[in-house]
Structure 1
Amino acid sequence: MCYVSFFFLFVFSGMNFIFMMYFIMNNLVYFLEWEIISLNSISIVMSILLDWMSLLFMMFVSLISSVVIYYSKSYMSSELNLNRFIILVLLFVFSMILLIISPNIVSIFLGWDGLGLVSYCLVIYYQNMKSFNAGMLTALSNRIGDVCILMVISWMMNYGGWNYIFYLSFMKNDKIMMTISGMIILAAMTKSAQIPFSSWLPAAMAAPTPVSALVHSSTLVTAGVYLLIRFNLLLMNTIFIKILLLLAGLTMFMAGISANYEFDLKKIIALSTLSQLGLMMSVLSMGFPELAFFHLLTHAMFKALLFMCAGVVIHMMNDIQDIRYMGGISFYIPLTSLCLNISNLALCGIPFLAGFYSKDMILEMVSLSNLNFFIFFLYYISTGLTMFYTIRLLMYLMINDYNLMSIYNLFEENYIMLKSMFMLLFMSVVSGSFLSWMIFSYPYMIYLPFNLKMMVIYVSILGGVLGYFVSSMKIYSNNKLKMTYKLSSFLCLMWFMPNLSTYGVSYNFLSFSQKLLKNIDMGWSEFYSGQGMYNILKNYSVFYYFYQMNNFKIYLFSFVLWIMIFLMMLMI
C-alpha cells in the first residue's frame, strides 16, 4: 500500500505542476460548480476553485506527502498496522486538498475539521499518556477555530450563499463582513498556533516523525495561513489585522527565544516552524499575500526534510531525542548530515538556497514599508535568533563530542529514507529560485540604503557567532543563580504559554470536579441515595432476619400478643 500511495500522489503532483504552468502562462481561473441535489428552492452545490495558487499548493502538498509515505515504509517498518497509518496520512492529505480547492466556506469547514480530527488520531498514534494529553490539547485548541468557522457559516447565511469568493471585494465595509473577518482571523490563529494558542504545536511532537514532517511543513499549520491568503482582500485595513501583526511578531520572537533554551531535537524544529508561521502571518498582515505564499512553499520543502533527518538521527540514537547526548554524527551518517545541514542553512536564509529568496525579500519589504520600530525590531531579532538556534543545533549534533554510551553500534543510513530525503534536498535547493521566477512575473527592485540592505547579513552573522559561543561554552548548564534559573524556565516554557492555556485553565476545573466527586457524588449524594438506602434496608433486613430466626418463644409471644389485640378490638 505504501508504494501505491506514493506512486499515486507523485503522479498527482506532476499533473498539478503541468496544469499550474498552463494556468500561469494563460492567466486562467476555473470555477467549477456541481449541483448535488435541488429540492424546491434549496440547492446543495459543490464548488471547486482552480487557479495557479491552489494548483501550486496542491502540487507541493502531494509531493511532500508522497515522499513522507515512501519514507514511512522504512521508518514505520516495525509497525504492525502500517496500512492503518498510511490510510490516516492519506485522509489527512485529502482533507488538506479539499480545503485548498474550496471557494465555499462549508466545504472549507469539511476540510478544516477533517484536518483537526485526523491530526488527533495521528498525535495519539503511540497511545501513551503523553500522546493522549498532546492529542487532547491539539484537538481542543483547534476546536476554537472550528467554532469560529461554524459561526462564519451562520453569519454568511445573510448573503444567501456560502461562496465567500463572491463577496470579498464589494462587501468589504459591511458590518457583517467585519464580524466575519474577525472570526476568520481567530480561526486562522488557532490553526497556525499564534499567541495565545501556541502551546499545542510543540506538544504535537508526540506524533510519529513522518507525521511531524507532514504536519509542520505543508498541511495542518499552513491551513490558517492559506485561509488568510484567500480572505486577504476582506481583511485589509481592519483593526483585527493590526492586532494579528503584533501577535504574529511576538510569536516569531517567542518561538525563536524558546528554541535556544530547548534540548529536545524535535521540539527545536517545531519551535522553528512556529517562528516561520509568525513570519508568514505578519507578512500577510502587512498586505503581501503572495510573498507569504512564496515563503510558505519554500519553507514546506526544507522543513519536511529537516524532520526526516531528525527521524533518522533519533532512530540511530536508540530513540533518544535530547541533543546533549548527540555529537559527531557526521562521521556515522554523512549523507543524512549533509541533508540536515543544507535544510538548516536554507532555514537560516543562506544565499541561493530555498529559504533565502523568500526571507530576504520579506525582510527587504519590511525595511521598505512604513512600520514602527517595534515590529521592525521583532523581524530582525527573530531572524538573528533563527541563525542562533540553527548554529547551536549544528554544534551539538555535528561538532561536539559524542555523549551516549561508549559501546554503542552506530549504523549507516537506510536507503529508502535516503532516496526520499534526496528528493526533498533537490527541491530545498532549487524551489526558491524556481518559484521566484514563476510567481512574480514582473521585475521588481527594492531600493534601500547600504546598511539596511546589509541588515539581514549583520543580524545573521551576529546570531551565528552567538550560537557558536553559547553552545561551545555550555552556558545553559550553569543555573546556580535562582534568577537565572527562573528566567531560563520562563523563556524555555514559551513564556509560560502551556501553563496559561493548558494546565492553568484546566487545573481549577479538574480540582473543582475532584471536590464535587468527593463531597457530592461520593459524599452526601451517596449518603442520601445509593449507599444510604442500601445501608437502611440492610440494617432492617438484619433485624427482621434475627427476629425470624430467633427461638419459638418470640413467635408464641407475638401470636399471644396479636390474639390479645384482636380480643380487645372485639370488646370495643
Structure 2
Amino acid sequence: MFSICSLSFFSLFFFSTWIFSLGVYFLIIDYSIFIEWELFSLNGSMVVMSLILDWMSLIFLSFVMYISSLVIYYSEDYMSGESNMNRFIILVLMFILSMAFLIISPNLISILLGWDGLGLVSYCLVIYYQNVKSYSAGMLTALSNRIGDVAILISIAWMLNFGSWNYIYYYSFFSDSFEMKIITFLIVLAAMTKSAQIPFSSWLPAAMAAPTPVSALVHSSTLVTAGVYLLIRFSPMLYSFNCGWFLLLIGCMTMFMAGLGANFEFDLKKIIALSTLSQLGLMMSILSMGYPILAFFHLLAHALFKALLFMCAGSMIHNLKDSQDIRFMGSIVNFMPLTSVCFNVSSLSLCGIPFLAGFYSKDLILEMVCLSWLNFLIFFLYFFSTGLTASYSFRLFYYSMSGDNNFYSSYSFDDSGYYISFGMVGLLIVAVFGGSLLSWLIFPIPHVIVLPYYLKFLTIFVVFLGSYMGYLISNLSLSYGLFSLSFLSYVSFMGSMWFMPFLSTKFVSFAPLKLGYFSLKSFDYGWGELFGGQGLYSLFVYFINYIQGWYDSNFKIYLLTFVFWMFILVLLFFF
C-alpha cells in the first residue's frame, strides 16, 4: 500500500516530465496557447478565467513540480515523527497548487488567487511547529506579504477602467496611460514584498521557522520567486515607465546586504535563506537592466541547486538532533559522505564554479553587467556581492566539513535515510547538468560576449578571492579576542541585516502599542472611567444616598415630595 508521500511523488514526477516535454516542444516551435472563459460580467467588465500556456510557464511549472515531488518524497523520512503526516502533505500540495495558479495566469484576478493562496498556506506552514518563535515568524511573513496583496487588489481596481484584467493585452496599447503607470508601480511593490527586497527583507530568514522540506520548496521555486516571475511577465511595462533604475538599486542593495549578513550568521538555515535573498536581488537587478529571459534562466538554475542545498542542510540538522548551529558541526564528511558531496556540489554551483548549474546563468549575468552601461556603484555591488557569496559558502564548508566534530563526543550519525538520500541524488543530477541543458534550450544560438581579459576573468578571480575572505572571516570569528568594540558594533549591524528585523517589528509596532497603552491608561482606565460608567455609577449612588437620607430623617419631606409629584402628574394628565 502506497503512502500519501509516495503517491504525491509519483503523480507530481509524472506531471513534471510531461509538462517539461510540452514546454520544450512549445519553445522549439515558438507556440503559445491562451485559454479564456467568462465567469460573469460586472459593469461592462468581464470577470474571466484565463490560462496562458507558453514555454516559460510550462518549463517553470515543470521545475516546481519536479522539486516538489522530490521534497515530498524526502519528507517521508524527515517528517517521520509527525503524528499527522497527511495534513502536512495536503498543505504542501495546496502550496504547489497556488504557485501553479500564479504561473499559468495572465489575468490579475486569477493571479490574486494564487498570490493570496501562497500567502495563506505559507503562514500555515511557518507556524507548523506551533511555538512562540514560529507564531511571531508567521505573523511577520503574513503581514509583510499582505502589503503586496493589497497592492495587487488596488491594481485590479485600477484595471477596471480597461474592460479586462488580462494585462497581456495592454503591453503596447497603454504605454502612455497614467493608469498603467500606477498599476506598474503597484505590481513592483507587490513583487518587492513577495521576493523580500529591501525594506521587506526581514520576513525571509524568519520564515526558516517552517519545517526544512517546506524551506527547500519555499526558497527554491515557489513563494520567493513569485515576485520575480510576476515582474518578468510585466517586464514590457517596467521598461515603458522607466522603473528599472529604482529596481536595479534595490536589487543590488538587497544582494549586498544579504551577502554581508550571511558572513556573520551561525544558523545553518538562515545562512542559506540569506543566500536565497542575495540571489533574488541578483535576479531583480538583471531583470531591471532589460534582460528578463536571463533573469528567468537564473531563476530556474537557482531553483535546482538551492533546493538541493536546503535538503542537505535538512539531512545534517535531522542527524544532529535538530541542531542548526554550524559551530556544533565539523568533519561531517567523515560521517555523511553522500550528504557532504551533494552539499558541496550545490554550494559550488551557488558560487558559480564552471560547468555546474549556477555557472551558466551567473557568469552570463556578470558578463552582461560588464558589457552594459553602468555606473561604478552598481558594478562594485555586483562583483563585491559575488565575492561575498563565495565567502559565506566557503565559511559554511569550513565550519561543517573541516576540523573536528564539535557535537557530543560519543554521538554517531550517518546517511542511512533512504528517502532523504533519494531526494538529494534526484536533485544532484539536475544541479550538475541542468544549467547546461537550460542554456542550450533557452539560448540555442550561443551569445558571444567579447570582453578584455581582466573583465573576462574578473568573475572567477572574485570567486576565489571571496573564498579566501571567507576563510579569514571564519578564523577571525573563532578568535574572539581580536574583536574590538568598534568591530563588534560593525558585526552586529551587518549580521542583523542592517537592523531590518528590528525595523520591521518592534520599530513599527512600538509607537502604536505605546499609543494604545496611553489611551487605555488615560481614557479607558482614566477619564473614560471618571466620566463614563464608574463616574456615573458613583454620582447616582451619591444622589440616591442623599435623597434616601432626606427620606429617612424627615417624614414630612417624604410626604411633601409625594404630593409634589402627584400634582405634576395631574397637570400632565389634564393639560
TM over 0.5: yes
Provide Cα deviations, 1:532-560, integer angstroms capped at 9, x if missing partner: 45666788999999x9xxxxxx98x8769
CA–CA separation in structure 2 for the residues paired with 1:100 and 1:311: 27
Is the partner of 2:263 in helix, strand or coil? helix
> Does 2:475 correspond to 1:472?
yes
Cα gap change, 1:264/1:479 in structure 2, threshold over 3 Å: closer, same or farther?
farther
- 1:129 offset after TM fit, Å? 1.3
Structure 2 matches for 1:129-168, cutoff 5 A? Answer: 129-168=132-171
> Does 2:424 correspond to 1:387?
no
CA–CA separation in structure 2 for the residues paired with 1:409 and 1:511: 51
Provide Cα deviations, 1:39-88, integer angstroms capped at 9, x if missing partner: 89564321110000000000001111111111112111111221111111
Residue 108 of structure 2 corresponds to: 105
Residue 191 of structure 1 corresponds to: 194
- 1:411 offset after TM fit, Å? 4.4
- 1:276 offset after TM fit, Å? 0.2
- 1:478 offset after TM fit, Å? 3.8
1:45 is matched by which residue type in structure 2?
A: V
CA–CA separation in structure 1 for the residues paired with 2:494 and 2:428: 32
Residue 370 of structure 2 corresponds to: 367
CA–CA separation in structure 2 for the residues paired with 1:406 and 1:558: 93
> Does 2:254 correspond to 1:251?
yes
- 1:381 offset after TM fit, Å? 0.6
Residue 307 of structure 2 corresponds to: 304
- 1:100 offset after TM fit, Å? 0.5
CA–CA separation in structure 1 for the residues paired with 2:560 and 2:279: 98
CA–CA separation in structure 2 for the residues paired with 1:565 and 1:360: 100
Cα gap change, 1:472/1:177 in structure 2, threshold over 3 Å: closer, same or farther?
same
Residue 406 of structure 2 corresponds to: 403
Residue 52 of structure 1 corresponds to: 55
Cα gap change, 1:522/1:31 in structure 2, threshold over 3 Å: closer, same or farther?
same
Residue 226 of structure 1 corresponds to: 229
Structure 2 matches for 1:294-443, cutoff 5 A? Answer: 294-443=297-446
Residue 550 of structure 1 corresponds to: none
Cα gap change, 1:532/1:167 in structure 2, threshold over 3 Å: closer, same or farther?
same
CA–CA separation in structure 1 for the residues paired with 2:167 and 2:561: 90
Residue 573 of structure 2 corresponds to: none
**Residues 312 and 413 of structure 1 are in contact (CA less than 8 Å); yes or no, is this contact kept in structure 2?**
no
CA–CA separation in structure 1 for the residues paired with 2:246 and 2:479: 34
Count of matched residue pairs: 561
Is the partner of 1:494 in helix, strand or coil? coil
CA-based RMSD: 2.4
1:162 is matched by which residue type in structure 2?
A: W
Cα gap change, 1:407/1:537 in structure 2, threshold over 3 Å: closer, same or farther?
farther
Residue 551 of structure 1 corresponds to: none
Structure 2 matches for 1:20-59, cutoff 5 A? Answer: 20-37=23-40, 43-59=46-62
**Residues 336 and 413 of structure 1 are in contact (CA less than 8 Å); yes or no, is this contact kept in structure 2?**
no
Cα gap change, 1:561/1:511 in structure 2, threshold over 3 Å: closer, same or farther?
closer
> Does 2:183 correspond to 1:180?
yes
Question: So what's the TM-score if we normalise by structure 2?
Answer: 0.92
CA–CA separation in structure 1 for the residues paired with 2:147 and 2:564: 79
Provide Cα deviations, 1:84-124, integer angstroms capped at 9, x if missing partner: 11111111111110010011111111111111111111111
User: Is the deviation greater in 369-378 or in 47-56?
Assistant: 369-378
Question: So what's the TM-score if we normalise by structure 1?
Answer: 0.93
Which structure 2 residue ranges, 5 or more long, are not aligned?
566-575
**Residues 395 and 472 of structure 1 are in contact (CA less than 8 Å); yes or no, is this contact kept in structure 2?**
no
User: Is the deviation greater in 269-278 or in 439-448?
Assistant: 439-448
User: Is the deviation greater in 430-439 or in 27-36?
Assistant: 27-36
1:84 is matched by which residue type in structure 2?
A: R
Is the partner of 1:474 in helix, strand or coil? helix
User: Is the deviation greater in 268-277 or in 323-332?
Assistant: 323-332
CA–CA separation in structure 2 for the residues paired with 1:266 and 1:357: 25
2:350 is matched by which residue type in structure 1?
A: L
Structure 2 matches for 1:275-290, cutoff 5 A? Answer: 275-290=278-293
Cα gap change, 1:228/1:525 in structure 2, threshold over 3 Å: closer, same or farther?
same
Q: Please, which of 476, 494, 498 is the counterpart of residue 495 of structure 1?
A: 498
Q: Please, which of 264, 267, 279 is the counterpart of residue 264 of structure 1?
A: 267
CA–CA separation in structure 1 for the residues paired with 2:186 and 2:381: 26
User: Is the deviation greater in 282-291 or in 530-539?
Assistant: 530-539
Which structure 1 residue ranges, 5 or more long, are not aligned?
548-553
1:218 is matched by which residue type in structure 2?
A: S
Cα gap change, 1:34/1:314 in structure 2, threshold over 3 Å: closer, same or farther?
same
- 1:314 offset after TM fit, Å? 1.1
Cα gap change, 1:4/1:560 in structure 2, threshold over 3 Å: closer, same or farther?
same
1:499 is matched by which residue type in structure 2?
A: F
Cα gap change, 1:183/1:479 in structure 2, threshold over 3 Å: closer, same or farther?
farther
**Residues 339 and 415 of structure 2 are in contact (CA less than 8 Å); yes or no, is this contact kept in structure 1?**
no
**Residues 38 and 44 of structure 1 are in contact (CA less than 8 Å); yes or no, is this contact kept in structure 2?**
yes
2:258 is matched by which residue type in structure 1?
A: A
- 1:21 offset after TM fit, Å? 2.0
Residue 217 of structure 2 corresponds to: 214
**Residues 46 and 164 of structure 2 are in contact (CA less than 8 Å); yes or no, is this contact kept in structure 1?**
no
**Residues 298 and 432 of structure 1 are in contact (CA less than 8 Å); yes or no, is this contact kept in structure 2?**
yes
CA–CA separation in structure 1 for the residues paired with 2:562 and 2:520: 53
- 1:449 offset after TM fit, Å? 0.7
- 1:474 offset after TM fit, Å? 3.4
Residue 572 of structure 2 corresponds to: none
Percent identity of equivalent pairs: 58
Provide Cα deviations, 1:130-171, integer angstroms capped at 9, x if missing partner: 111111111111111111111211111221111100111232
Residue 81 of structure 1 corresponds to: 84
CA–CA separation in structure 2 for the residues paired with 1:21 and 1:470: 44
> Does 2:97 correspond to 1:94?
yes
Residue 130 of structure 2 corresponds to: 127
